[in-house]
Structures are given as C-alpha cells and as structure tokens.
A and B are shown apart, each in its own frame.
Chain A
C-alpha cells in the first residue's frame, strides 16, 4: 500500500534509457501517454469500422466526441478554424484519455504533472502567437492595445495587456494540473481515513469517497473540455483579433 498521498504522482522509470548523460527512460508517465494515444486510435478505428445509420455504442461514442469538438471549433473559431480541427481534436482526446486513465485504480495521471500540462499549453501559446503574426503581420501587436484608447494610455495599458497575454499558458496549464492533482490527493487522503476510523466511523469517509470519485470523473471530462475550448478561444483571438 502507498504510505503517502503523494506517492501516486511519482514518476518511476520502467525501461531505463541513458543517451549521453540525458535520462530518456521510458517511465510510467510515458506508458500512460502511450496508452492514451493507443486508446484514442483504437476507439476511433473500431468505432467507425462498421458505419451504420443506426450506430452501435462504440460508433455513438466516436461520433459524439467528434461532434463535440467540431461544434466547439465552429462556435468558437468559425470556419477559419477548420484546418486546425485535427490538432484540436487530438489535443482533446489526449487530455481526456489522460484524465480518465488516471481514474483507473493504480493508474498514473500524467495530466497531474505541471510539466506535462505546461508543455502542452506552452506549445499552444507559441503556435497561436506564430499564427497571429503570420495572419496579421506586425498588426498583431495591436492585440496589446485596445482600439480607441488615447495614445498616452499605452504606457499603462500595454504592460497590462502583455502580462495578461503571457499569463495565458500559465492559467491554462495550472488549471488542468491543479484540478487533477487536488482531486487525486483528495481521494487518497479521504481514502486513508476509512480504515483507521473503524467499521462504523469509516462509513462516513467511504460515502464521501464514492461521491468524490463520481465528481472526479466529471472533473476529468470538464477539464479536458475547458482546456480545449480555451485553446479554441486563443486561436480565435489570433485569427480574428478582438
């Protein structure tokens, strides 16, 4: 049994690989990322293998996921976002599977590591900024100054807008990381109360644990959704400056 509620977040190498002083070991984190990708591919491949008008359950799931992301892109980015759909869909599926695989007892939640979520968010931030400059040229600097404000206010407004813009990858990554970490910590801590409190007293934390487990499934899906929808919103800002 785990002794500390933090043990579940430990990254342990499964297949140690050292390349010129660099630790490139295949870890449990990497294993679950592989599982997330494999799961996504399997779900979508088997889901749409037999395309029927009245869908099977698996096909329903695959179509539903597709529709959710397609609607999200259409509503938040518009038709200009069509070409980014593959990336956004992959992102959504990767995070969704990462969150849900973490709900398997004994599983590892790679989205509970800030470095994973920050890498995703930072990549999105850089990509969106490049897209912005590519579409608007130097006019993209207009993002940092609201239309119609008197010119002298630039000295105050520009730093504020720049900090606000830079805070995007941080808020994006911290939100996902914090939600997943706190949820899993809570499960472990409350789970640790059950046995010491005995047969009668332990029923209370056990009931709480069941409720929180249900809540965690909800949060796993919601956070994948929120991460993706914010990516869409940032992409929309870059394509059609606000």
Chain B
C-alpha cells in the first residue's frame, strides 16, 4: 500500500494534543495527514479521469436495465396466464378467462415496464444531480 514508515510511539508523545485528549483510537496524526494528502491526490486524479468520460459508459448498467424490464414484463404475463388457467379449470370456462387474464396480464406488464422505466429515470436524474453537486461543492466526500 502506501510507502509509509510508521513512527515509534515515543515520538508521537511529543506531538501536540495527543497526550491531552484521550483518543479512542490512537493513530499518528502525521500518518493521518499523509493519508489525507494521498487521498486528495487520488480523488483529484479520479476527477480528472471522470471528466474525460466514463471508461465503460454504463454499458453493464444498460444490460441490467434491459434484463430487468424483460423479466418484469414476462412475470406479469405469466401471472395473468396462470390466474386465467386456474380460474378456467375451477369454473370450467375454458378458454375465456385465460384470454381475459392474458390481456390483463399484458396490461400489467406494460404498467410494470412503465414503473421500472420511471424509477430508472428518477435514479439516473438523481445521480446526475449528485455529480453536479460534487463538482461544484468542496472536495471532501
């Protein structure tokens, strides 16, 4: 990891407030400062890389969204057909309720797809807003 040389405890004792306030987790402040510096450098480097555009432009995310919508659609149609078949078998009305519930299932499928798309859209907007806030805000995350 970091090319950091840990200092011995006696050296730390002479440091400013280390002895005065009881710290729950005694960590060398010099080390923290060094890590802080390294972190800010890394964040700056990441920022610069991000500005050039995403390396893998959300490709896997699009794949996930597509899969999600497809499954959402199939599930609603499947449930509609299942309800139709079961009711038909129970009431002996083959095939009318199957036909009816297939149509209802299809409508539910469209509803599911619409809701999923809405939610994905909302999430994408929220992410964009957060990124914009990140850029204008301070560099502490």
A interface list, Cβ under 8 A from B: 51-54, 156, 159-161, 163-164, 166-168, 170-171, 174-175, 178-179, 218, 222, 226, 233
Q: Given A160-B104, A163-B108 in contact, is the A174-B25 Cβ separation under 8 Å?
A: no
B31 within 8 A of A: yes
Chain B residues, Cβ within 8 Å of A166: 79, 83
Chain A residues, Cβ within 8 Å of B109: 167
B interface list, Cβ under 8 A from A: 25, 27, 31-32, 35, 60, 64, 67-68, 71-72, 74-76, 78-80, 83, 101, 104-105, 107-109, 111-112, 119
Is the Cβ of B25 less than 8 Å from the Cβ of A53? yes
A170–B72 alpha-carbon span in the complex (Å): 9
Chain A residues, Cβ within 8 Å of B64: 222, 226
How far apart are A72's CB and chain B's nearest CB, in angstroms? 12
A-B pairs with lowest CB-CB distance, top 8:
A171-B75, A163-B108, A164-B108, A170-B75, A167-B76, A167-B75, A167-B79, A175-B71
A170–B80 alpha-carbon span in the complex (Å): 12
Chain B residues, Cβ within 8 Å of A159: 101, 104
A51–B25 alpha-carbon span in the complex (Å): 8
A222–B65 alpha-carbon span in the complex (Å): 11
Is the Cβ of A53 less than 8 Å from the Cβ of B111? no
Is the Cβ of B101 less than 8 Å from the Cβ of A171? no
Chain A residues, Cβ within 8 Å of B105: 163, 167
Q: Given A52-B27, A160-B107, A226-B68 in contact, is the A167-B112 Cβ separation under 8 Å?
A: yes
Q: Which of A51, A160, A233 has the most CB of B within 10 A?
A: A160
Q: Given A51-B25, A218-B60, A226-B68 in contact, is the A164-B111 Cβ separation under 8 Å?
A: yes
Is the Cβ of B75 less than 8 Å from the Cβ of A174? yes
Is the Cβ of B74 less than 8 Å from the Cβ of A54? no
Chain B residues, Cβ within 8 Å of A233: 119
Q: Kindly identify which residue among B31, B74, B108, B119 contacts A160, using a CB–CB cutoff of 8 Å.
A: B108
A52–B27 alpha-carbon span in the complex (Å): 8
A57–B76 alpha-carbon span in the complex (Å): 43
Q: Kindly identify which residue among A170, A175, A226 contacts B79, using a CB–CB cutoff of 8 Å.
A: A170
Q: Kindly identify which residue among A160, A170, A171 contacts B111, using a CB–CB cutoff of 8 Å.
A: A160
Chain A residues, Cβ within 8 Å of B78: 167, 170
